[in-house]
């Protein structure tokens, strides 16, 4: 697995595929989990591997001027709106992580909406290609329920594992792993020798493989979109069945429906690219034809969470039964 080679342990391959699918499409990813489960670390390592400019914004403390910069008063005198950039402004960043999203200042939520969805701020374009965010469950003190419009901007919802949810082998790796933020002064007493357990040369090797894999996945995405042209029809029927079977408890808007469509294609494209580049069979390869739609689809990770937790049992049961119902009369996943 790619993340393991970057020093991220205990994540399932399905979790990794969501991260890679977000990198492939650029659709926003929300990481939801307890403190210490590597939410920030994974974003940092991925940005490092891709060689992209990266910054973490703490939504609980971040002010408008931190994102945008201060107005250029000289330009204002000329009737021109321009902002003075700084090392922390968003303009030149390519991958950003909005941390502590559900502790954010309410007045800034509308600004984050614009950045998350359109990669713009105050109508001005930025260089941002990927927007990820992280938050703790609502059981944490100081957290608040996210606005529906804000959470609806995210395409992927990923729940990183706590160390107690990992197998013993991965716990051992976590215990012995030293990354760039750990033991910062150790190299002072080791003759400058890095104490990190993942060497820079190893990261570069993984980075090259990651870039190659995403390039191959992009080609598969376009091919799958052309090959499975009836998938939108499948989803249109699924949307209707979802409302009826849940008795109106679960409904999809147009944006969510589009996210599901792209997520299905992106996840499958990632699986195919992994097999082609790394020559390692993915788990869903053993599924019979016509079932990859459900096997590869992160249903739990496509619907917005309820109160900061995983999607409800209603959504999971309805999505499974609806897909089974539609499978009888649809060849959209074949």
Whether residues 94 and 171 share a domain: the answer is yes
Query: Is 305 a domain residue?
Result: yes
Whether residues 222 and 185 share a domain: the answer is no
The range of the structural domain enclosing residue 193 comes to 2-197
Whether residues 217 and 321 share a domain: the answer is yes
> What pLDDT does residue 129 have?
96
Domain count, the chain: 2
- The pLDDT of 150-172, averaged and rounded, is 92
164, 197, 230: which is the final residue of a domain?
A: 197
Whether residues 183 and 216 share a domain: the answer is no
Whether residues 188 and 76 share a domain: the answer is yes
Query: Is 225 a domain residue?
Result: yes
Q: Is 35 exposed, middle or buried (0-12, 13-18, 19+ CB in 10 A)?
A: exposed
Query: Is 58 a domain residue?
Result: yes
197, 228, 256: which is the final residue of a domain?
A: 197
103-107, 120-124, 208-212, 277-281, range with greatest mean pLDDT: 208-212
Whether residues 324 and 235 share a domain: the answer is yes
Whether residues 34 and 171 share a domain: the answer is yes
Whether residues 89 and 213 share a domain: the answer is no
- The pLDDT of 286-304, averaged and rounded, is 49
Whether residues 274 and 152 share a domain: the answer is no
Whether residues 162 and 208 share a domain: the answer is no
Please state, in angstroms and rounded to a whole number, the distance separating the CA atoms of residues 197 and 6. Answer: 10
pTM: 0.83
Whether residues 42 and 155 share a domain: the answer is yes
- Any idea which of 113-127, 216-230, 306-320 has the lowest mean pLDDT? 306-320
Q: Do 135 and 141 touch, CB atoms closer than 8 A?
A: no
Query: Is 334 a domain residue?
Result: no
Query: Is 144 a domain residue?
Result: yes
Whether residues 167 and 228 share a domain: the answer is no
């Amino acid at each position: 697995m790619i993340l393991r080679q970057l020093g991220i342990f205990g994540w399932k391959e399905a979790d990794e595929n969501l991260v890679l699918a977000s990198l492939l499409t650029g659709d926003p990813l929300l990481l939801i989990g307890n403190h210490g489960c590597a939410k920030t670390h994974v974003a940092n390592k991925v940005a490092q591997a891709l060689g992209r400019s990266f910054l973490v914004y703490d939504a609980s403390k971040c002010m408008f001027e931190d994102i945008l910069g201060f107005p250029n008063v000289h330009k204002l005198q000329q009737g021109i709106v321009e902002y003075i950039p700084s090392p922390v402004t968003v303009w030149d960043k390519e991958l950003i992580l909005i941390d502590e999203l559900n502790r954010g200042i309410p007045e800034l939520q509308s600004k984050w909406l614009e950045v998350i969805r359109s990669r713009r701020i105050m109508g001005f374009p930025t260089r941002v290609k990927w927007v990820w965010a992280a938050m703790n469950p609502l059981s944490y003190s100081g957290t608040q329920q996210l606005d529906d419009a804000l959470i609806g901007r995210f395409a992927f919802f990923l729940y990183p594992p706590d160390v107690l949810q990992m197998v013993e082998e991965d716990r051992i790796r976590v215990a012995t792993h030293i990354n760039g933020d750990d033991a910062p002064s150790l190299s002072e007493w080791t003759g400058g020798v890095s104490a990190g357990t993942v060497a820079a040369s190893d990261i570069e090797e993984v980075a090259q493989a990651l870039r190659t894999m995403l390039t191959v996945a992009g080609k598969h995405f376009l091919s799958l979109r052309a090959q499975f042209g009836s998938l939108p029809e499948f989803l249109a029927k699924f949307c209707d069945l979802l409302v009826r079977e849940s008795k109106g408890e679960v409904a999809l808007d147009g944006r969510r429906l589009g996210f599901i469509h792209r997520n299905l294609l992106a996840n499958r494209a990632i699986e195919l690219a992994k097999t082609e580049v790394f020559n390692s069979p993915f788990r869903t390869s053993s599924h019979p034809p016509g079932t990859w739609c459900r096997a590869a689809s992160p249903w739990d990770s496509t619907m917005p969470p309820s109160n900061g937790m995983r999607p409800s049992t209603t959504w999971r049961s309805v999505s499974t039964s609806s897909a089974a119902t539609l499978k009888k009369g649809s060849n959209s996943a074949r």
